Amino acid sequence: MKRMISSNDPRLRPEDRKPKKGKKPDPNEPKIVEAPQYSSALFFEYNTQLGPPYRILLDTNFINFAIKNKVDIVKGMMDCLYAKCIPYVTECVQGELEHMGERYRLALKVIKDPRIEKLACMHKGIYADDCLVQRVTQHKCYIMATCDKDLKRRVRKIPGVPIMSVGQHKFVIERMPDAPQM
């Protein structure tokens, strides 16, 4: 059982002996509210950095759903956006696929395609969702490609980031300003 030191213990300094009391806030003083600063690329929620060639960040389950629905990733993206697309895979997504084992070897083979660019990660850990959200928050030039509901919910909170997913054997995109609404 741990014991607490008493307030008159000789090891404590005199300033530590007195209980600290916070001063009460003045009701007439204006409150300071911290608001996140948004990118200058956003103009009324319209992301001006998005444009052809589109840069698309791939998530692990997006790759798996594309394989299950028999959709070629690069061709499906071009059919969806009617423009040149550059798919990107981070080291975290690649590491996540490698940890999933033998069942996902086809997904690993798909991301080894030379048309899919690799992005290096500078952080610790391999949790891909945090890595992708952090990268999309920092750089507004990406479209997020995922089928994960939790990740979609997190990305929807970030203004100006479109989300691509797999549906009905083709890719669909939401929150894209120029795209026809489906």
**Separation of alpha carbons 160 and 175, rounded Å:** 8
C-alpha 18: how far from its chain's center? 46
**pLDDT tens digit string along 116-146?**
999 998 887 768 899 999 999 888 889 999 9
**Quick one: pLDDT at residue 43?**
59
| Least trusted range by pLDDT, from 9-13, 109-113, 164-168 | 9-13
Mean pLDDT, to the nearest integer, of 72-89? 93
| 49 confidence band (pLDDT: 50, 70, 90) | confident
Over range 148-171, report the average pLDDT: 91
Q: pLDDT value at position 182?
A: 46
Report the DSSP pairing between strands 42-43 and 46-47.
Answer: antiparallel
pTM listed for this prediction: 0.73
> Which residue shows structure tokens 């059982």?
1
Task: Give the tens place of pLDDT for each residue, 14-27.
Answer: 776 666 666 777 78
| pLDDT of the residue at 78 | 92
Residue 180 scores a pLDDT above 50:
no
For residue 177, name the pLDDT band (cuts at 50, 70, 90): low
Q: What is the pLDDT of residues 157-166, one digit of tens each?
A: 888 889 999 9
Residues 25-46: pLDDT tens digits? 778 888 777 776 666 666 555 6
Per-residue pLDDT, 86: 94
Residue carrying the six token digits 């090891």: 11
Pick the CATH number of 53-174 from 3.90.79.10, 3.40.50.970, 3.40.50.1010, 3.20.20.70: 3.40.50.1010
How far is Cα 146 from Cα 33, in angstroms, rounded to an integer? 33
Q: Does residue 106 register a pLDDT over 90? A: yes
The answer to whether residue 179 scores a pLDDT higher than 60 is no
Residue 14, Cβ neighbours under 10 Å: how many? Answer: 6
